[in-house]
């Protein structure tokens, strides 16, 4: 492990740190600092480009774990410009180069499978039709959608999926997972969080269906669970992960009882793991303090007691690897791992601005600040791969521009 001698792998009581190795099912991770999935809008016209290889390899470490940006399972899944897909051959071929480059650096990489559902616009839909969802209620005007020309628009009214159409969407997830494995990915993460399609089924603040996919908790969990089962039977449950955010209201995704919802999903995942005799790769949960992109800066606490209770209840109930995300800095990440609140911690914004975040956290070096205005721009370099690395020279740390 690079610079391993500079950090303690565990403290004197044997308590794990962010830099202790971790066995995540069949994957041997050399540390617990994970690249969080982040949409960066650099895959021009849906095709991953060489710029993505540069971005992901910059953030790779031997034995380090990375999750890609949300990657579309079908041509109806987009709600941002220039988001990559994994539903056609050109995309699968293009991803190979990126995955190979990450593997060459010893990294382990999962592809995050995404469908935005109603968080879309007719401009992103084939034939300019309404986006699909669990409901016909649009996202409120409190939220704005990023349009292809860089302006912000209003979310249109979605079309609720017919009951008979749902299996087709499940099938898109299954095929996308198979495509991801063909592209060389080590596994996939199902994006069930942040107000996108799956969350639109999970949350009672959105899902107003009267069929077998709405109403009771069991019915609202059904869409997610059918996807997990379909994907697990295609590529093996140990290559599948689930992301959820029961307590996050992003894009109006509210639920009357977030804890119960989280526990209901976990209960079903635990049961499936028992049935299949093997575990998911991990469960990834977004901290309540990450209420909405932009409202909470990294390192700031939310309502500490409330979120500690919710996250601990979820962690204690889930029988497998638990990954946390949302507002972590070095100190909070160290604390979460040491106190057993997380096995792995995913870092988002700090990883955007610090390609060598793992090293910086290890040696407790200063961090570059992230520049929000280039999060979703399309330049293959600016705000993407041009954040400076910390270069170590003979024990002296200097910062240098690339």
Ligand X SMILES: Cc1cc2nc3c(=O)[nH]c(=O)nc-3n(C[C@H](O)[C@H](O)[C@H](O)COP(=O)(O)O)c2cc1C
Residues with active-site annotation? 196
What is the nearest approach in angstroms of ligand X to the Cβ of residue 39?
Answer: 4
Tell which one of 18, 22, 27, 37 touches ligand X (CB under 6 A). Answer: 37
Cβ atoms within 10 Å of 215's Cβ, excluding its own: 14
- Contact letters for ligand X, residues 272-301 (x by CB under 6 A): --------------x---x--x----x---
User: Would you count residue 193 as binding ligand X (CB under 6 A)?
Assistant: yes
Burial class of 373 by CB neighbour count within 10 A (0 to 12, 13 to 18, 19+): exposed
Q: Which of residues 382-401 bind ligand X (CB under 6 A)?
A: none
What is the nearest approach in angstroms of ligand X to the Cβ of residue 190?
Answer: 10
User: Would you count residue 111 as binding ligand X (CB under 6 A)?
Assistant: no
User: Would you count residue 39 as binding ligand X (CB under 6 A)?
Assistant: yes
Among residues 55 and 160, whose Cβ is nearest to ligand X?
55
User: Would you count residue 309 as binding ligand X (CB under 6 A)?
Assistant: no
Among residues 266 and 323, whose Cβ is nearest to ligand X?
323
Tell which one of 79, 117, 246, 327 touches ligand X (CB under 6 A). Answer: 327
User: Would you count residue 110 as binding ligand X (CB under 6 A)?
Assistant: no
Among residues 160 and 342, whose Cβ is nearest to ligand X?
342
User: Would you count residue 70 as binding ligand X (CB under 6 A)?
Assistant: yes
What is the nearest approach in angstroms of ligand X to the Cβ of residue 189?
Answer: 8
Q: What is the rounded CA–CA span in Å between residue 161 and residue 388? A: 46
Residues found near ligand X in the complex (CB under 6 A): 36-39, 69-70, 112, 191, 193-194, 243, 286, 290, 293, 298, 325-328, 347-350, 375
């Amino acid at each position: 492990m690079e610079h391993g001698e500079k950090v303690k792998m565990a403290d004197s009581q044997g308590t794990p740190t962010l830099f202790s190795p971790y066995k995540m099912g069949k994957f041997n991770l050399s540390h617990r600092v994970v690249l969080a999935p982040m949409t960066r809008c650099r895959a021009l016209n849906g095709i991953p480009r060489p710029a993505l290889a540069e971005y992901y390899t910059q953030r790779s470490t031997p034995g380090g774990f990375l999750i890609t940006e949300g990657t579309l399972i079908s041509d109806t899944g987009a709600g941002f410009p220039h988001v990559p897909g994994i539903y056609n051959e050109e995309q699968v071929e293009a991803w190979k180069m990126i995955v190979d480059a990450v593997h060459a650096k010893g990294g382990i990489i999962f592809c995050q499978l995404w469908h935005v559902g109603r968080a879309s616009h007719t401009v992103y839909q084939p034939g300019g039709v309404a986006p699909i969802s669990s409901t016909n209620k649009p996202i409120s005007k409190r939220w704005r959608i990023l349009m292809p020309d860089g302006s912000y628009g209003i979310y249109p009214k979605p079309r609720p999926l017919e009951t008979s159409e749902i299996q087709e969407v499940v099938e898109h997830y299954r095929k996308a997972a198979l495509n991801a494995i063909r592209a060389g990915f080590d596994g996939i993460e199902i994006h069930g969080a942040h107000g996108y399609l799956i969350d639109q089924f999970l949350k009672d603040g959105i899902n107003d269906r009267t069929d077998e996919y709405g109403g009771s908790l069991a019915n609202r969990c059904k869409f997610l669970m059918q996807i997990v089962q379909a994907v697990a039977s295609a590529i093996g449950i140990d290559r599948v992960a689930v992301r959820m955010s029961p307590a996050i209201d992003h894009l109006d995704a509210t639920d009357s009882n977030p804890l119960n919802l989280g526990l209901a999903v976990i209960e079903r995942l635990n049961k499936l793991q028992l049935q299949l005799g093997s575990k998911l790769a991990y469960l990834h949960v977004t901290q309540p303090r990450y209420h909405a992109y932009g409202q909470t800066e990294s390192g700031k606490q939310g309502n500490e007691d409330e979120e500690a209770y919710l996250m601990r209840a979820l962690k204690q109930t889930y029988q497998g690897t638990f990954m946390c995300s949302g507002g972590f800095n070095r100190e909070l990440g160290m604390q979460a791992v040491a106190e057993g609140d997380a096995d792995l911690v995913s870092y988002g914004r700090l990883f955007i601005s610090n390609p060598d975040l793992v090293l910086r956290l290890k040696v407790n070096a200063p961090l570059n600040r992230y520049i929000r205005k280039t999060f979703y721009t399309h330049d293959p370099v600016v705000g993407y791969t041009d954040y400076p690395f910390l270069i170590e020279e003979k024990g002296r740390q200097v910062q240098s521009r690339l």
